[in-house]
Structure 1
């Protein structure tokens, strides 16, 4: 199994706007479970401490294998969510590892 962790910094400085953006991203990303083959689980979480010093939100997703992660990256439903996140983020960091 491959665990995919991505952290995002949002471009907005307005806390209410950030909350709304994360809520939308969470809803759309977590809805991909059962849609994207090989995606076992997805959890999206808003940062809870040190606002401004930490990333704003993160996702943790588990995939059957590396091939499933690679298929997810180009899946049309993921691409829709990624396009939205691309309009609201100013930074991104990711790591993938076997579990």
Structure 2
């Protein structure tokens, strides 16, 4: 059994993330560095990226992570570096957010 976390963001229209792919690339780099450097026990896989632009109405950015269990997800979610990146680089740029977590 595993536990999967999926989150998508739509950047606020007036945000620099909506206008400048380099800003989004910086966010992705910060998240990747966090995942690479943190000791995240129970993390099976993790990826993130910008929408490919193949359909209208899609979110702009997504993160997908698979964990051993809910406890591993919670440790990731609450990790201080993860919270810092969200607070400093993501939250003020988001116009819409959707997330789901599921076991399976």
Give the TM-score taking structure 1 as reference length: 0.83
User: What number of residue pairs does the alignment pair up?
Assistant: 98
Question: Residue in 1 aligned with 2:77?
Answer: 73
Question: Residue in 1 aligned with 2:58?
Answer: 54
2:24 paired residue among 22, 25, 34:
22
Residue 86 of structure 1 deviates from its aligned partner by 0.2
Ranges in structure 1 where 5+ consecutive residues have no aligned partner: none
The worse-fitting range, judged by mean Cα deviation, of 31-40 and 66-75 is 31-40
| 1:45 partnered with 2:49 | yes
Give the TM-score taking structure 2 as reference length: 0.79
CA RMSD of aligned residues (A): 2.1
Residue 47 of structure 1 deviates from its aligned partner by 0.9
Structure 1 segments (4+ residues) deviating >4 Å: 13-16
The worse-fitting range, judged by mean Cα deviation, of 45-54 and 83-92 is 45-54
